Amino acid sequence: MKDIMKKYWFVGVVGVFLFAGLIFMATDSLKTDVKAKQTEDGKDVVFSYDGKDYTADQMFDEVYETLDIGAIIPVLELEVYRDAMPVSKAIETDAKTKTLNIINSLKQEYGEQWEFSLDRLLIQSGYITKTGAAGLQDYLTIMEVRQVIEKEYVKANPQSYKAYMEESKPRLISHILIKMADTDNPTAEEQEKFDKAKAALNESGSVFSTVAAAHSDDGSAQNGGSLGLVTTESMKQYVQQFQDQIYAVDKNQKTEWFTTEYGYHIIHVDASDIESFEKLNFDIFQTIFEANPKILLDITWDQIEKQNISFGKDEKLNQAIKEHYTAKEAN
């Protein structure tokens, strides 16, 4: 059984202190061993103020009563995912690369104060296991592990995203636009451009994005005609004739040419299901989570149960955590 609560709860408290402006005290506590001082009955002293020692239990009780579990959840979740699965080479490499990129950005923005700023960001995220670059890489590794677990959970549980896919019908689309002032009476130049685009699409082995980049009059041409993600809600930004064609064909298919007030269009559906979104490296999972945050709670609770994690002997706390993750509606 993995008992992670009493050991780490005060990290969340430090994060809260940061938001209250007590940055110095919080970051200074990173550099000290909280177990270095104990009360007479052997309890760990977290910090001293105005001659009074405050133990972990005292601080926990006060903060928990004041802030509920809001200061605890970020810390708890980091520990839940820390040992949730073996760290692959790919995850390790990705975390290292992201660490270097973030540090370079911090150095450009904060100069010599970059490490202080980094430690502050880590604390705000509920992390103080390590400081500096080592801490950042450890944190990013945990987050990489979490993302893998979240994606695998969604793919293994189609019911978790079924409602979103059916209601919002997300799909990635691309298009080609040949502008015409009057589609019934195109100029010779407009007609020639239209004919060339049609001929290019009809060539054996043609790639829609390549043709779009070469022939489309739309600004999306620089992205191979991609218009990105559209849903039943976001498609309302387009004129009605365009809306009518978005769901007319399935993935990897293209519509017939059709007209709008802007000219001639043709649409290609690039992705419309989990597998095709993944193939194009589009993070449909984040879109699903934004539409239904409750899924993230379900995934974390699933991990808590799989790892047989406990949260100390405080029954009230255990119940509050369980309710946070298993309530019917997302908080």
pLDDT of residue 3: 61
pLDDT at 109 over 70: yes
pLDDT of residue 32: 38
35, burial (CB in 10 Å: exposed 0-12, middle 13-18, buried 19+): exposed
Residue among 305, 2, 298 at smallest CA distance from 160: 298
Phi first, then psi: give them for residue 31, nearest 5 degrees.
Answer: -85, 0
Rounded average pLDDT over 109-118: 95
pLDDT at 34 over 80: no
Rounded average pLDDT over 69-93: 90
Rounded average pLDDT over 280-309: 95
Q: List the alpha helices (DSSP H) in the chain.
A: 5-19, 23-30, 56-67, 73-82, 89-110, 114-124, 132-156, 159-168, 188-202, 208-215, 240-246, 274-279, 284-291, 294-306, 315-326
pLDDT of residue 267: 98
CATH code of the domain made up of 166-276: 3.10.50.40
pLDDT at 263 over 90: yes
Residues forming a β-bridge with 263: 179, 260
Rounded average pLDDT over 21-45: 45
Residues 11, 299, 330, 275: is their CA dihedral positive or negative?
positive
Contact 282, 271 (CB under 8 A): yes
Rounded average pLDDT over 176-190: 97
Higher pLDDT among residues 21 and 103, named by residue: 103
Residues of the chain with CATH 3.10.50.40: 166-276
User: Taking all residues of the chain, what is their mean pLDDT, rounded to a whole number?
Assistant: 85
What SS3 class is residue 33? Answer: coil
pLDDT of residue 30: 38
Neighbouring CB atoms inside 10 A of 119's CB total 22
pLDDT of residue 10: 44
pLDDT of residue 126: 83
Higher pLDDT among residues 312 and 177, named by residue: 177
pLDDT of residue 1: 53
Amino acid at 310: S
